[in-house]
Amino acid sequence: MKEVRIWDGPSARSGPPEPELTRRSFLRTGAAAVGGMAALAAALSPLRELALDQAPSMDQFLQKHYKEMTAAEMEAALDRIRKKVEERYDVRPHLRDIKPMEGVEFVYALNLSRCIGCRKCVHACVAENNQSRSPEIQYIRVIEMPRGTLDVEKGDHHYDRPTVPDAAHFYMPVQCHQCANPPCVKVCPVEATWQEPDGVTVIDYDWCIGCRYCEAACPYWARRFNFAQPKLPKEQLNPNMSYLSNRPREKGVMEKCHFCLHRTREGRMPACVEICPTGARKFGNVLDPKSEVSQILKTKRVFVLKEEVGTLPRFFYYFDERYPNSIDPEALAIAQKLREEEGDRYGQLPGAAGPDRAMIAATQPQWWDGRQA
């Protein structure tokens, strides 16, 4: 009977004979090994750039996602970050994790009729939020657009003029719109970014893997990536920080505007609203009917950028109607004529030449008509 063998064990003798180690096979194997090792070394060579002090500690490596951390774990994480910030910037930060307020949904409104394009918001934001100064990261982009169009393709955010505003342009600042239907959240493969109950889309900088999908998904160019190790002079660090907002970021993570949540969740205004010299920026709780933003949505001509993409932004642009200062052209013509007759006598007292007839004619046409009749 023929032997049926299922497995040729090491003890099997009928297998092929062990190849002899010849000079040729030695050289061949050796060269292959050297080549392979060299290739491996070449592939691993970027690791040489990994400085040991930048490498994450074991605790940081094992840190859980923001939403999965218990209070104690969060405190430990905060402590670790505090220590790191202190090491790097010689400042003990006031770092905490601030939760959203109940019954609050933040909304932002921006008056395009009032914005003069001075870029103060851009730099106030940078001072507040500890962005990298070099390479430069800014959350707000002020686009100078020719009047008569809303096509951002025609805009320019590198405008450099001796003075603003320019008569032929208007200015449209763009930052994170905190969408109610955020595409950036949908594309994140690791759920490192999500929408909070108060409407702010936040990022867990320790969970982000830096794939930049969100940057590509955002129709408002709102997300910024730390391509290089962020640089921030020690004396410019803002020590008032929270976990989800302005704590210092690392290389390779995404960041963006978060409505200054370390301020706004404590009732304060965002930095860009506070600095705006014209009051073009408005911020508040849309669930409060008395708030300024609710009034704007109710009474002003409001629009959102790229409405057609369906992101439902919480950032609204609005216009003022032209304010007629109650002077109708006919009354103004009469007033100007009177002014010419009288000349510009600034300090004129009523006793000297009677009341200022030009002003009255301009602002109270009925009065003037009565006098004439």
Partner 1 sequence: MVIFDQKSSQRSQPAARFAGWVLCAGFVVLAGVLFASPRSVEIPIAPASAVDRSLLVVGPRREAMKDPPRLMVEGVPENCNACHQIFKSSHAGGEAINYHQELKLSHGLNNRCVNCHDAQDRERLTLRDGTTVSFGESPRLCSQCHGTVYRDWEKGTHGKTLGSWVTDAQSQRRLVCNECHDPHSPKYEAMKPLPGPNTLRMGEQALPHVSEGKRSPLQRWLKPHGEGAKTPTQHEEAR
Counting contacts by CB under 8 A, is residue 256 touching partner 1? Answer: no
Which of residues 66 and 155 has its CB atom nearest to partner 1 in the complex? 155
Residues 6+ apart with CB under 8 A from 3: none
Q: Write out the binding residues for partner 1, residues 154-193 only, by CB under 8 A.
A: 157-165
Parallel, antiparallel, or unpaired for β 193-195 and 201-203? antiparallel
Asked whether position 364 contacts partner 1 by CB under 8 A, the answer is yes
Q: Answer yes or no whether residue 326 interacts with partner 1 by CB under 8 A.
A: yes
d(CA 183, CA 311): 7
Site for partner 1 in 21-80 (CB under 8 A): 31-32, 34-36, 38-39, 41-42, 45, 48-49
Binders of partner 1 among residues 195 to 234 (CB under 8 A) are 225, 227-228, 231-233
Angle at CA 156, nearest 5°, toward 108 and 225?
65
Residue 319 binds to partner 1 (criterion: CB under 8 A):
no
* Contact flag: residue 283 with partner 1 (CB under 8 A): yes
**Residue 29 and residue 33: Cα distance in Å, rounded?**
6
- Cβ-based nearer residue to partner 1, 11 or 45: 45
Query: Residue 269, interface with partner 1 (CB under 8 A)?
Result: yes
Contact between 340 and partner 1 by CB under 8 A: the answer reads: no
Decide: is 330 part of the binding site for partner 1 (CB under 8 A). no
C-alpha distances (whole Å) from 89 to each of 127, 232, 345 are 15, 9, 62
Cα dihedral 28, 30, 33, 35 sign: negative
Whose Cβ is closer to partner 1: residue 77's or residue 273's? 273
Other C-beta atoms closer than 10 Å to the C-beta of 84 total 16
Among 95, 126, 179, 241, binds partner 1 (CB under 8 A): 126
Specify the amino acid at residue 21. L
Judged by CB under 8 A, the residue of 5, 290, 366, 373 near partner 1 is: 290
Task: Identify which of residues 157 and 247 has a Cβ nearer to partner 1 in the complex.
Answer: 157
Strand partners, 146: 169
Q: Which residues of 227-257 are buried (b: 16+ CB within 10 A; e: fewer)?
A: eeebebeeeebbebbbbbbbbbbeebbbbbb
Candidates 10-18, 76-84, 195-203, 328-336: pick the segment binding partner 1 (CB under 8 A): 328-336
With binding defined as CB under 8 A, does residue 123 bind partner 1? yes
Q: How far is the CB of 44 from partner 1 (least distance, A)?
A: 10
| Closer by beta carbon to partner 1, 61 or else 323 | 323
**Cis bond upstream, residue 135 (ω within 30):** yes
